[in-house]
Amino acid sequence: MRETLAEWRPAIDEAIADLVPREVDPEYLEEFFGEPTYEYDSEGIQRALADPLWELLDRGGKRWRAVLFLVFIDAFGEDPADYLQYACIPEILHNGTIIVDDVEDEAAMRRGGPALHHVFDEDIALNAGNAMYFLPLKILTQDHADLPADRRLAAYEMLMDELNRTHLGQGMDICWHNEREVRVTPEQYLEMCACKTGCLGRIVARLAAIITDQPADVEEAVASYAELTAVAFQIGDDILDVENSLGRAGEFGKEFGNDVREGKKTLLVIHAMEESDPETAHRLQELLQDDDNTDEEILEALSILEEAGSIEYARERALGLAAEARGEIADLDFDPETTRKLEEFTEFVIDRDV
Amino acid sequence: MRETLAEWRPAIDEAIADLVPREVDPEYLEEFFGEPTYEYDSEGIQRALADPLWELLDRGGKRWRAVLFLVFIDAFGEDPADYLQYACIPEILHNGTIIVDDVEDEAAMRRGGPALHHVFDEDIALNAGNAMYFLPLKILTQDHADLPADRRLAAYEMLMDELNRTHLGQGMDICWHNEREVRVTPEQYLEMCACKTGCLGRIVARLAAIITDQPADVEEAVASYAELTAVAFQIGDDILDVENSLGRAGEFGKEFGNDVREGKKTLLVIHAMEESDPETAHRLQELLQDDDNTDEEILEALSILEEAGSIEYARERALGLAAEARGEIADLDFDPETTRKLEEFTEFVIDRDV
């Protein structure tokens, strides 16, 4: 999968640049957004849209949503090169959610630089993030690869299902974040991940299936694969934050004990609350809701998680989800090389360094 | 038009409550968003979605976008009562943009209460506003009034055009807001209004035309009517802010001299910058970019606008746009009562009190 990621990346970035060039001018604006009634201000749109978008994309990101889409297109017997524009849909959506989530979470950093709302004014960053929800959806109106009308409608209906659930997931996450109490169940936590992170994965898989006209059961199988993998990825993220903080994984990938400092109700926290004695559970909750933790307090919270066996629990669940994901695609008629790539991907999302 | 607004309002609010009930429960969530993979947290979704939405709707708003949609449906020979769900599309979109714009503009007040990001946490308000961009788009998947597939696809394609331009308009507006210099032309200002405010009007009109299968020229005529009316409305808003502040319209509808305090580059400001001598223009720019204006400074800025004849200029342009709007529908085959309502509406948007 790593080679596939590297191989496709330049072509994907070129396709994104066709949609939103680094330098916008009146001709581009007229072509993409339609004739103005009066007169566009290219200079303003450059700063409000193209600059934030490319600032974020140029910082990195693996473009794995676009590449996974192309892997599916290939698996369904079509030439990925013909569907590069569609690969941009989940990729730009994802980058849009990053900008908006960072505003909502008051994040300081993103991809090794300050979060976008610290580079641009917050209003500009936010509007650019929101614009990136709608820019990619316009791709479907452009008739790339002669997509028939019923497929385009199916794609829109699918996108509306998934993008609605994305906002449910984010709603649950930030709502819990603002609550003192840890009241959520592991099943609700998994649902939050399935909505917030999983739905973008589902878009990747379902879009490839819809565009290449796969039967409903195939579409559902790849969607479940992508959702399960994304949920496993999210739990992997939660584990990584704790492990890196405990110094097990060597150098710190993030700020030390980030999730505890933010008071995130991760699967590990939910598990530890259930498994610890009432006094310890109460102490963990206290540490999470504190706005300013000392490094000692962070380590105290982390060792509560460790002692409750929450790291192992979370790893078991993530591995179980990854196995389930592999099961979803086991019976599909993919060539062995594709199946290998997709299986490898479910492992990568848990056992990664960053 | 006033009677029509009052007449339809209860039915519109009922249709919105069918989409997002005041009290969400697992049955509703499953029906609207689909079966969860694991388990929804109704309590969190209540607070993250239903509470902010109804807090805003219950404060008022005339629902004129929904009513205008129903007037068009009626004008096109269909029964408005059959299309109430579709009337919610522009209405919920509009209320979503209000929440997001208020975050972007750091607005303090909305509809007589604190802006939503002051009532709820900012992350909750923002996510609810964004969710309201996608909730209404799902209505088209629900097959109300047996809408054929080609009409649903046309509606999606139209919505993607217009919602993309909405974000261009907001992008221009906030970009100018953050600039020291007033460099924008009247034509660019009108384009900003046409995108930011006009596109939601266009959605109202085009959705009614698409759903009832009107020919392309009729769709474009009502779209232009709605866009022109919305732009006239926006300019009316700018005039009202200055007139109320100068005490001409009696009691203040808003905080005194709001637009100047915010440094908004309104059509009046753009005109005054062009018409005033360099020294006065420079002073106006200085007053606009100041973060803390005294009441005397606000009055100074307002009298620069007054002396440059900018109020009359803006009124002339607004009246011109309203006349253009009436011209767009003059040749359509509407009954006289509908035409009267639509004509009246173009007047109301300029000569209103609040």
User: What residues of B are in contact with residue A123 (Cβ under 8 Å)?
Assistant: 104-105, 174, 177-178
Task: Indicate the average pLDDT of chain A.
Answer: 94
CA dist A103 to A110, A129, A235, A332, B123, Å?
11, 10, 22, 40, 8
Q: DSSP 3-state assignment of A108?
A: coil
- Per the CB < 8 A criterion, the answer to whether A205 and A211 are in contact is no
- Among A34, A38, A121, the residue with its CB nearest the CB of B178 is A121
Whether residue B212 sits in one domain with residue B127: no
Whether residue B322 sits in one domain with residue B207: yes
| Nearest residue to B131 via CA among B104, B92, B167 | B92
The CB-side HSE value for B297 (13 A sphere, CA atoms) comes to 17
Whole-number pLDDT of residue A10: 95
Whether residue B262 sits in one domain with residue B282: yes
Whole-number pLDDT of residue A246: 84
Residue A51 has pLDDT above 60, yes or no: yes
CA dist B328 to B76, B331, B340, Å?
16, 7, 14
Task: Please answer yes or no on whether A40 and B168 come within 8 Å at the CB atom.
Answer: yes
Mean pLDDT for the stretch of residues A33-53? 98
- Per the CB < 8 A criterion, the answer to whether A86 and A69 are in contact is yes
Whether residue B225 sits in one domain with residue B142: no
Whole-number pLDDT of residue A252: 47
- Nearest-CA distance from A249 to chain B in Å? 31
> In the 8-state DSSP scheme, what is residue A253?
S
Higher pLDDT, A251 or B334: B334
Q: State whether residue B123 sits within 8 Å of chain A by CB.
A: yes
Chain A 239-258, residues with CB within 8 Å of chain B CB atoms: none
User: The domain containing residue B139 runs over which residues?
Assistant: 1-146
Q: CATH number, domain at B138?
A: 1.10.600.10
> What is d(CA B219, CA A255) in angstroms, rounded to the nearest whole number?
55
Whether residue A152 sits in one domain with residue A139: no
Tell me the backbone φ, ψ of residue A114, rounded to 5 degrees: -65, 145
Q: Give me the total of CB pairs closer than 8 Å, taking one residue from chain A and one from chain B.
A: 206
Whether residue A113 sits in one domain with residue A211: no
pLDDT digits (tens, 9 = 90+) for B54-84: 999 999 988 999 999 999 999 999 999 999 9
What is the greatest pairwise CA distance in chain B? 67
- Per the CB < 8 A criterion, the answer to whether B75 and A202 are in contact is no
Q: Into how many domains does chain A fold?
A: 2
- For residue A125 the two structure tokens come to 């960053």
Q: Which of A101, A129, A146 is the last residue of a domain?
A: A146
Chain B 48-87, residues with CB within 8 Å of chain A CB atoms: 48-49
Whether residue B279 sits in one domain with residue B199: yes
Whole-number pLDDT of residue A276: 97
- Per the CB < 8 A criterion, the answer to whether A16 and A92 are in contact is yes
Confidence of residue A262 (pLDDT cuts 50, 70, 90): confident
Residue with the two structure tokens 């878009």: A203
The span from the first CA to the last CA of chain B, in angstroms, equals: 16
| Nearest residue to B244 via CA among B225, B258, B231 | B258
The CB-side HSE value for A210 (13 A sphere, CA atoms) comes to 23
Strand partners of residue A109 = A114
- Among A40, A128, A171, the residue with its CB nearest the CB of B191 is A40
- Nearest-CA distance from B173 to chain A in Å? 8
pLDDT digits (tens, 9 = 90+) for A115-125: 999 999 999 99
- Per the CB < 8 A criterion, the answer to whether B11 and B127 are in contact is no
User: What residues of B are in contact with residue A157 (Cβ under 8 Å)?
Assistant: 140-141
Give the DSSP per-residue string, B24-51.
Answer: --HHHHHHHH---SS---HHHHIIIIIH
- Per the CB < 8 A criterion, the answer to whether B107 and B115 are in contact is yes
Task: Please answer yes or no on whether B227 and A127 come within 8 Å at the CB atom.
Answer: no
Using alpha carbons only, what angle is made at residue A210 by residues A207 and A211, rounded to the nearest 5 degrees?
80
Whether residue B205 sits in one domain with residue B102: no
Whole-number pLDDT of residue A195: 98
- For residue A141 the two structure tokens come to 């109106």
User: What residues of A are in contact with residue B160 (Cβ under 8 Å)?
Assistant: 134, 137-138, 140-141
User: What residues of A are in contact with residue B92 (Cβ under 8 Å)?
Assistant: none
User: What residues of A are in contact with residue B131 (Cβ under 8 Å)?
Assistant: 164, 167-168, 171
| Nearest residue to B238 via CA among B257, B224, B251, B210 | B257
Q: DSSP 3-state assignment of B78?
A: coil
Query: Environment class of residue B210 by beta-carbon count within 10 Å: exposed (0-12), middle (13-18) or buried (19+)?
Result: buried
Confidence of residue B253 (pLDDT cuts 50, 70, 90): very low
> What is d(CA A341, CA A275) in angstroms, rounded to the nearest whole number?
37
% of chain B surpassing 70 pLDDT: 97
> What is d(CA B305, CA B276) in angstroms, rounded to the nearest whole number?
9
Q: Which residue of B has its CA nearest to A43?
A: B172
Give the DSSP per-residue string, A30-77.
Answer: HHHH---SS---HHHHIIIIIHHHHHHHHT----HHHHHHHHHHHHTT
Q: Which residue of A has its CA nearest to B140?
A: A157
pLDDT digits (tens, 9 = 90+) for B5-47: 889 999 999 999 999 999 999 999 999 999 999 999 999 999 9
> What is d(CA A282, CA A137) in angstroms, rounded to the nearest whole number?
46
Residue B241 has pLDDT above 50, yes or no: yes
Q: Which residue of B has its CA nearest to A228?
A: B37
Whether residue B140 sits in one domain with residue B158: no
Q: DSSP 3-state assignment of A352?
A: coil
pLDDT digits (tens, 9 = 90+) for A125-183: 999 999 999 999 999 999 888 999 999 999 999 999 999 999 999 999 999 999 989 99
Whole-number pLDDT of residue A350: 79
- Nearest-CA distance from B247 to chain A in Å? 32
> In the 8-state DSSP scheme, what is residue A110?
E
Q: DSSP 3-state assignment of B109?
A: strand
> What is d(CA B126, CA B102) in angstroms, rounded to the nearest whole number?
9
> What is d(CA A98, CA B149) in angstroms, rounded to the nearest whole number?
33
Residue B113 has pLDDT above 90, yes or no: yes
Q: Percent helix, strand and coil across chain B, each rounded to 5? A: 75, 0, 25
% of chain A surpassing 90 pLDDT: 86
- Per the CB < 8 A criterion, the answer to whether B169 and B194 are in contact is yes
- Nearest-CA distance from B268 to chain A in Å? 17
Chain B 154-173, residues with CB within 8 Å of chain A CB atoms: 156-157, 160-161, 163-165, 167-168, 170-172
> What is d(CA B207, CA B162) in angstroms, rounded to the nearest whole number?
11
Task: Indicate the average pLDDT of chain B.
Answer: 94
Q: Which of A101, A121, A146 is the last residue of a domain?
A: A146
Looking at A131-140, A249-258, A312-321, B287-296, which range is the least confident one? A249-258
Task: Please answer yes or no on whether B167 and A103 come within 8 Å at the CB atom.
Answer: no
> What is d(CA A104, CA B230) in angstroms, rounded to the nearest whole number?
31
Among A33, A53, A123, which would you mutate to test the B interface (most chain B Cβ atoms within 10 Å of its Cβ)?
Answer: A123
Residue A254 has pLDDT above 60, yes or no: no
Strand partners of residue A113 = A110
Task: Please answer yes or no on whether B190 and A37 come within 8 Å at the CB atom.
Answer: yes
Whether residue A351 sits in one domain with residue A305: yes
Mean pLDDT for the stretch of residues A66-85? 97
- For residue A212 the two structure tokens come to 């290449």
Chain B 301-330, residues with CB within 8 Å of chain A CB atoms: none
User: What residues of B are in contact with residue A160 (Cβ under 8 Å)?
Assistant: 134, 137-138, 140-141
> What is d(CA B137, CA B159) in angstroms, rounded to the nearest whole number?
8
User: What residues of A are in contact with residue B51 (Cβ under 8 Å)?
Assistant: none
Whether residue B122 sits in one domain with residue B169: no
Task: Please answer yes or no on whether A156 and B156 come within 8 Å at the CB atom.
Answer: yes
Whole-number pLDDT of residue B254: 46
Whole-number pLDDT of residue A175: 96
Mean pLDDT for the stretch of residues A216-238? 97
Confidence of residue A354 (pLDDT cuts 50, 70, 90): low
Whether residue B165 sits in one domain with residue B111: no
Task: Please answer yes or no on whether A49 and B168 come within 8 Å at the CB atom.
Answer: yes
pLDDT digits (tens, 9 = 90+) for B177-205: 999 899 999 999 999 999 999 999 999 99
Q: Which of B80, B113, B146 is the last residue of a domain?
A: B146
| Nearest residue to A19 via CA among A105, A136, A113 | A136
